[in-house]
Structure 1
Amino acid sequence: MASYSSRVRSDIARWQQAGLIDAPTADALTRDVEASERKSLSFGSILAMMAALLFGAAILIFIAANWEVIPRLVRVAALFAVILAGYVGGAVLKMRDHAAIGEALWIIAAAAFGGSIALIGQMYHLSGDEASALITWGAGTALAAVALRSNPLTVVAVGIADAWLFLRGFDYFRRTEFPHLFVIMALVLFAVSFWTRSQAARHLIILSVLFYLVLLVMQYDTLQVAIPLVVASVLLFAAAIFAAGPVDRILQLGGRLPLHALIGFLTGLAMIQFELADESSYNSGFAIASAVALAGIVAAIVLGGRESRGLRWVAYAGFAFELAIIYVVMLQSMLDTAGFFLAAAVLLAVLAFIIIRIEKRMNASNMTGAAA
């Protein structure tokens, strides 16, 4: 599959050949696409990041394997030397237009900082637990991201916060309190992501908050969490569709807020459906939730699917999930299941016919306007 820049260049050539744009405009557009392509994350940059992570892991494993042989002072000096060399060397390389290698060195330094917390704590028998170590590691990485204005370090800091949430959420550290601190972490890191221009971190934070809400359901009543999530997701989706420009200027998500809102909507309704699954034979709550989910999926495709391939794929996946869960839950009553599927099929067929007619009229009006 051709990349976005390749498709744009081919479109520019086609527009010039069709006489829609002149040669200077085509050259200017091509130069702008090439400049933007150089600033994007290339495959070589990704390999450099992966190599940095492996190199950092190799250093820490080597130090840990020879921990007893190396003198205590040398151990501490070696760990701090790796951290200092990574941050300073990365800054120097980035100023010399070697951004990918510089960011990779910063990731090595962040990994070395995390390993240093564990190794030094073990060496000096410092009090504390793994949760505190992860928080310290994440805070240090976030401060480094702010100081260096680093996009990848921001993503790493979010990843550390997610690891803390996962381990605490499943009671890995044998604590009873729920990790509500993650909400503060998410807000701080979301603010940091604007300073470091890390759109990827913002996307990851939003998905992490959804995971936090899933964990929250395990501690509290499902409907108290799921219903506000569904309502908030619907409102965010409406804002992202009908006020796309202002909303995206504020959140800077690259126009992908509808995608996140749809994921939140489907997650909330899945929580409700799982809660009502055992009661599906006694009341119509499960059927109503399923109908709302299918209607929401269709509405999302109609309103935002034309502009977002990712949203369409999420909607298709959600539709497949709905069919699966409806079949499993209502398997005990095959007649009811068949009736539900028949009604849903008729409804979707009617909606598909209406959508096709609307799209044909929109395309016809667009072609008429272009010809005029």
Structure 2
Amino acid sequence: MASYSSRVRADAARWASSGLIDGKTAEAIVLDVEAHERRSLSFGSILAIMAALLFGAAILVFVASNWEAIPRVARVGALFAIIFSGYVGGAALKLNDHAAIAEGVWLIAAAAFGGAIALIGQMYHLSGDETQAVLTWCAGTAVAAAALRSGPLTIGAVALAAAWLFLREVDFWRDTDFPYAFIGIAAVLWLVSYWTDSAASRHLILLSLVFYAALLAVEHDSDLVGIAAVLAAISAALFALAVVMPEKVERIVRLGGLLPVHGLVGFLTGMIMIQFEVADEDGAGFAIAAAIALAGIVAAVVLAGRDSRGLRWIAYSGFAIELCMIYVIMIQDMFGTAGFFLAAGVILGLLALAIIRVEKRMREPRVTQGAAA
């Protein structure tokens, strides 16, 4: 498969030959795309980061094996030597234009920091539980990410924060309070992601916030519908802002135009939770919630689906889930399975026809303007 720059080069040549752009503009477009592509991760860079993750996993497993034969001071000293040499050596590699290898070495140092926390806590029987260790690991990784302006370390810090949220809520070890502090942690990591220019971290933070809202709704079971409705409403509002004023919103969130995708994920999560909660209570309530969810899916595809394949796939998956829920909860006893699929096929066909007509009308002004120019 041709690379992105190769496709742009071919397109730019075609546009220039068609008179849509001049030769200088075509050359500038190609040079800009190639410059940005060179700064992206290559296959070798990905392998280097994967190797670093394997080394990090080896360190953690080595610590977990409880190596009693080595003196305590030697164990701690070895881990801190790995941490120091990893961060300093990675900085030296970064200065010598070996950015990918540097990021991998920093990940090894971050893994060694986590191993050091576990080992010291084990050796000296420090008070606290595993969730506190994970939170400390997250804080240390976030500080390192900010100091080194490392995108992969920022992603690691966000992943550790999400792990802390999960472990804290599911109460693997003891009865704990709900981790309300995750909102503040997410806000700090969001600011760090701006400094390190890590859009992937912001995507992960938004998904973690949806997960946080779902856990909060389960925690406060008596008000589950209200919390889920707030999640759906906020997500729909963010989606609307991203569609109405995309440039202004993108300058703030810097998500590569993918905020509508997160808005749809949050909206569907909230609506599905509402439907599960009211399914056994009120058939009319479930029908209203299902209608709102389906209307939201159609609106998302019409308003933002044309330019986002990911959003379309999420919308189609959500639509399939909604159909299954409607069948199981509402019409299983009203129609046979064949009748349900027939009705679903008719609905899907009409929906596809409507979307095609809307997208065609949305494209017409652009074609007309291009011809006039």
Question: TM-score w.r.t. structure 2 length?
Answer: 0.92
Equivalent-residue separation in structure 1 for 2:107 and 2:36 (angstroms): 24
Within 5 Å, give how 1:155-194 maps onto structure 2.
Answer: 155-194=155-194
Residue-pair matches, total = 370
Unmatched 5+ stretches in structure 2: none
Backbone CA RMSD of aligned residues: 2.2
Q: For the residues of structure 2 that align with 1:320 and 1:277, how far apart are their CA atoms?
A: 18
Pairing of 1:1-372 with structure 2 (within 5 A): 2-62=2-62, 65=65, 67-220=67-220, 221-279=223-281, 282-335=282-335, 352-372=352-372
What is the rounded CA distance, in whole Å, between the counterparts of 1:68 and 1:258 in structure 2? Answer: 53
Distance 1:73 1:349 in 2: 70
Which amino acid in 1 is paired with 2:118?
A
- In structure 2, do the counterparts of structure 1 residues 315 and 60 end up closer, same or farther at CA, with 3 Å as the change threshold? closer
Per-residue deviation, 1:169: 1.4
- Worse overlay, 235-244 or 119-128: 119-128
Distance 1:151 1:44, change over 3 A: same
* Matched AA of 2:236: V
Q: Deviations over 1:319-371 (max 9, x none)?
A: 11111111121254224999998887766655544443343344343333222
Write the letter of the residue equivalent to 1:142.
A
Equivalent residue letter for 1:313: W
Does structure 2 conserve the Cα–Cα contact (< 8 Å) formed by 1:134 and 1:164? yes
* 1:57 match: secondary structure: helix
Shift of 1:172: 1.1
Q: CA deviation at 1:18?
A: 2.2
Q: Name the amino acid aligned to 1:178.
A: F
User: Cα distance 1:339–1:233, how it changes in 2: closer, same or farther (>3 A)?
Assistant: farther
Q: Tell me if the contact between 1:86 and 1:109 (Cα under 8 Å) persists in the aligned partners.
A: yes
Check the 8 A contact 1:331/1:337 in 2, yes or no. Answer: no
Distance 1:359 1:211, change over 3 A: closer
> Does 337-346 or 218-227 show the bigger shift?
337-346
Percent identity between matched residues is: 64
Summarize deviations over 1:27-75 as a string: whole Å, max 9, x none: 2221111110011122222221111011122234345547212122211
CA gap of 1:58–1:357, structure 2 versus 1, over 3 A, is closer
> What is the CA–CA distance in structure 2 between the aligned matches of 1:3 and 1:275, rounded to whole Å?
47
User: 1:193 corresponds to which letter in structure 2?
Assistant: S
TM-score (norm: length of structure 1) = 0.93
Cα pair 2:154 2:192 within 8 Å, conserved: yes
- For 1:298, the aligned partner's letter is V
Verify the 8 A CA contact 1:326 1:337 in the aligned structure 2: no
Contact 1:56 1:111 (8 Å CA) reproduced: yes
1:162-200: CA deviations, max 9, x gaps? Answer: 111111111112123111121111111111111111110
| Unmatched tracts of structure 1, length 5 or more | none
State whether residues 294 and 319 of structure 2, in contact with CA within 8 Å, keep that contact through their aligned partners in structure 1. Answer: yes
Post-superposition CA distance 1:139-169 (Å, at most 9, x none): 1111111111111111000011111111111
1:291–1:66 CA distance, 2 compared to 1 (3 A): closer
Partner-residue secondary structure (3-state), 1:334: coil
Structure 2 CA distance for aligned equivalents of residues 60 and 283 of structure 1 = 51
- C-alpha deviation, 1:112, in angstroms: 0.1
Distance in structure 1 (CA, Å) of the matches to 2:149 and 2:94: 12
Contact 1:151–1:196 (Cα < 8 Å) also in 2: yes
Alignment partners' CA distance in 2, 1:11 and 1:287:
48
